[in-house]
Amino acid sequence: MTTTVAFLGLGVMGYPMAGHLAAAGLNVRVFNRTAATANKWTQSHQGTAHGSIAETLEGAEIVLTCVGADPDLISMYEGPEGIIANAAPGAVLVDHTTASADIAEHLANKAYEAGLGFVDAPVSGGQQGAENGQLTIMCGGNSQDFSRAKPIINCYAKALNLMGTAGAGQKTKMVNQIAIAGLVQGLSEALHFAENAGLDASKVVDVISQGAAQSWQMDNRAATMLEGKFDYGFAVDWMRKDLAICLGEANRNGSALPVTALVDQFYGDVQAMGGRRWDTSSLVERLRRIRAK
């Protein structure tokens, strides 16, 4: 029997993720607040678009969401028209949004009270990872819900792990973003230094990428950073949203994040430069413009 799944939120990540579910032969029902996007999705994928959350959830054993932030989740999950009130009995709800651990814990408790499962499952890998079905997914929830959702999520995952109870997935994603922030700033400074030192920065990268300085950011972003191209991935606006979540959680648990706080300010400078939709590697452009002044 074909599993019926509902996917709500067809943004730059959700659109291809839902596509992988359809390609796997699942019965996919989709919903997007902009209906034209959902209708466009059905033109190239086997699945059906629906005009309301309740209609989308009919018969869905697994319900997946991928939206913007905590307020979007509240509006989508709660209330008489929301997911919790309209999900099929016993369905497992899986949220791929990068959000706060508080909202994950809150929605999990609401789901449990309604006899539903819940897994918070933020992703890493950006739009390219979503399109290629190569996302890293960190999950929070109980083992039973995770086991039911795992075969579905695996349709677009290269790595998938249960990190703990509800909220643990979001906290793990925070660790990911904290690490990326420092790495991108370090790479930006290194490339900026190489340029100003009169070196062939591309040759420098070729050499040092074979040693201890190697990273995913260097392998995938150094060349475009040197070319001044910043439309290859996760937008600065989204990163600032994520770093605000990280810094808020750090304030609650007593963690000191001085580098993360500083890089967050640097991303604020990039926004002021007009780079709100540039990808996160645009930190190097900030350095170039500071020197040019």
Instruction: Measure the CA–CA gap between 263 and 283, rounded to whole angstroms.
Output: 9
Nearest to 175 by CA among 82, 273, 245, 70: 245
| Residue type at position 135 | L
The yes-or-no answer on residue 40 being catalytic is no
Q: In terms of domains, do 22 and 128 share one?
A: yes
Q: In terms of domains, do 154 and 183 share one?
A: no
With residue 4 as reference, give the H or E element that holds it.
strand 4-8
Confidence of residue 285 (pLDDT cuts 50, 70, 90): very high
Q: Is the pLDDT of residue 128 over 60?
A: yes
Which CATH number does the domain housing residue 277 bear? 1.10.1040.10
pTM of this structure: 0.94
**Domain tally for the chain?**
2
pLDDT for 71-122, tens place per residue? 999 999 999 999 999 999 999 999 999 999 999 999 999 999 999 999 999 9
Can you say whether the dihedral through the CA atoms of 213, 214, 220, 222 is positive or negative?
A: positive
Q: Write down which residue in 114, 140, 164 finishes a domain.
A: 164
Q: Which burial class, exposed, middle or buried, applies to 63 when counting CB atoms under 10 A from its CB (0-12, 13-18, 19+)? A: buried
Domain that holds residue 217: 171-292
**Exposure on the CB side of residue 58, measured as CA atoms within 13 A:** 8
Phi/psi for 91 (5° steps) reads: -65, 155
Q: In terms of domains, do 33 and 150 share one?
A: yes
Cα–Cα–Cα angle for 199, 200, 202, rounded to 5 degrees: 135
Is 136:124 a contact under the CB 8 Å cutoff? yes
| Residue type at position 199 | L
Q: Write down which residue in 118, 139, 164 finishes a domain.
A: 164
Dig out the tokens for 246 from the structure: 């990280």
Q: Which residue has the tokens 């791929």?
A: 96
Confidence of residue 182 (pLDDT cuts 50, 70, 90): very high
Dig out the tokens for 117 from the structure: 């499962």
- Of 173, 203, 229, 241, which one is the catalytic site residue? 173
Helix residue spans in the chain (DSSP H): 14-23, 35-44, 53-56, 70-77, 83-86, 101-113, 126-132, 143-153, 168-196, 201-208, 216-227, 236-253, 258-272, 283-292
Quote the pLDDT of residue 232. 85
Q: In terms of domains, do 120 and 210 share one?
A: no
Quote the pLDDT of residue 1. 44
Q: In terms of domains, do 233 and 250 share one?
A: yes
**Exposure on the CB side of residue 102, measured as CA atoms within 13 A:** 11
Q: Write down which residue in 103, 129, 164 finishes a domain.
A: 164
